[in-house]
Amino acid sequence: MVGVNINTASKHLLMYVSGLGPKISQNIIEYRKEKGAFLTRDDLKNVPKLGEKIFEQCAGFLRIEDGINPLDSSAVHPESYYIVEKMAKNLGLSIDNIVGNDNIKNMINLKDYIDDKVGLPTLEDILKELSKPGRDPRENVDDFKFKENIVSMEDLKIGMILNGIINNITNFGAFVDIGIKEYGLIHISELSNKFIKSPHEVVKISQKVSAKVIDIDKDRKRISLSLKDLN
Using pLDDT thresholds of 50, 70 and 90, give the confidence band for residue 212.
very high
Residue 66: the pLDDT is 81
d(CA 128, CA 114): 16
**pLDDT of 211 strictly over 90:** yes
Nearest to 176 by CA among 130, 138, 142, 222: 222
Residue 2: the pLDDT is 77
Give yes or no on whether 4-131 and 153-226 have one common fold: no
CA dist list (Å): 11 to 19, 28, 42, 55, 92:
13, 8, 20, 17, 41
For the chain, the average pLDDT equals 89
Express each pLDDT in 74-111 by its tens digit. Answer: 889 999 999 999 999 999 988 888 888 778 878 889 99
Residue 131: the pLDDT is 78
- With a pLDDT cut of 90, the percent of the chain lying above it is 65
Residue 136: the pLDDT is 57
Residue 103: the pLDDT is 81
Nearest to 149 by CA among 136, 159, 163: 163
Residue 40: the pLDDT is 94
Pairing of strands 222-226, 208-217: antiparallel
**Which CATH architecture group holds 4-131?**
Orthogonal Bundle (1.10)
Segments making up each domain of the chain, as ranges: 4-131, 153-226
- Asked if 105 and 125 touch (Cβ cutoff 8 Å), the reply is no
Fold of 153-226: OB fold (Dihydrolipoamide Acetyltransferase, E2P) (2.40.50)
